[in-house]
Amino acid sequence: MLKRTLSSQLARLAAGFADRPVRLGELIDVLQLRGYDAVLIFLAFPFITPVPLPGFSSLFGTVIALLGLRMALAQRPWVPERIKAHILPARFLPKLLLVTSRMFGRLEKLLKPRLFYPEYPAAFQRTSGVLILVCGLLLLLPLPVPFSNAFPALTIILLAAAGLERDGAVFIAGCVQFVLCLGFFALLGLGGSEVWQRFFS
């Protein structure tokens, strides 16, 4: 079963990768054995804090967008070698893996196959891929605004978690979060345009 397995695996990886630099590709190669969803959950978790992480959002956002695109096209996970060659800080990675493991461990208790997801997994995965692609692109925006990373990251986590257990209810929650995410960025855009007009009018 997938419940508790991913969080346990993340905790084991934290111990295995402790005190040494790790290529992003090493981590992706291990996690993608579970498919897109495990990689996406790990990549999105650092961004659920209110404070944006500009240094990592560019790298992780690119990978998320690529994986979302390949999900939408029903293709196998793939990341360019140039991106996989990036080195993750030795002290940063174990802490991130442990935090992700603990937080996802709580979410795992809620996941189970339900609604129409088990009957139509391909359709749900393709739809999730499109939404995750958009969220990955939103993470690439250089916005020093609180929650500008958190809204797309939470959408990605919910959709990927739904994919792990084919949970239609969590998928719906991810879609609702996606709408909220678009509304948040629409408000940012409207506010920015208004400030621009006032400044230059």
Rounded to the nearest 10 degrees, the angle between the axes of helix 36-44 and helix 121-139 is 30
Nearest to 178 by CA among 161, 153, 160, 146: 153
Instruction: Give the pLDDT confidence of 1-21 residue by residue, as tens digits.
Output: 344 567 888 888 887 777 777
- The one-letter code for the residue type at 86 is H
Which of the pair, 32 or 47, is modelled with greater confidence? 47
- Band of residue 181 on the pLDDT scale cut at 50, 70, 90: very high
Comparing 31-40, 116-125, 175-184, which segment has the lowest mean pLDDT? 31-40
Q: What pLDDT, in 10s, does the model give residues 54-83?
A: 667 788 889 999 999 999 998 887 888 888
> How many domains does the chain fold into?
1
Question: Can you give the residue range of the structural domain that contains 100?
Answer: 5-200
Residue 68 is predicted with a pLDDT of 94
Residue 182's pLDDT is: 95
Q: Are 24 and 80 in contact (CB under 8 A)?
A: no
**Three-state SS annotation for the chain:** CCCCHHHHHHHHHHHHCCCCCEEHHHHHHHHHHHCHHHHHHHHHHHHCCCCCCHHHHHHHHHHHHHHHHHHHCCCCCCCCHHHHCCEECCCHHHHHHHHHHHHHHHHHCCCCCECCCCCCHHHHHHHHHHHHHHHHHHHCCCCCCCCCCHHHHHHHHHHHHHHHHCEHHHHHHHHHHHHHHHHHHHHHHHHHHHHHHHHHC
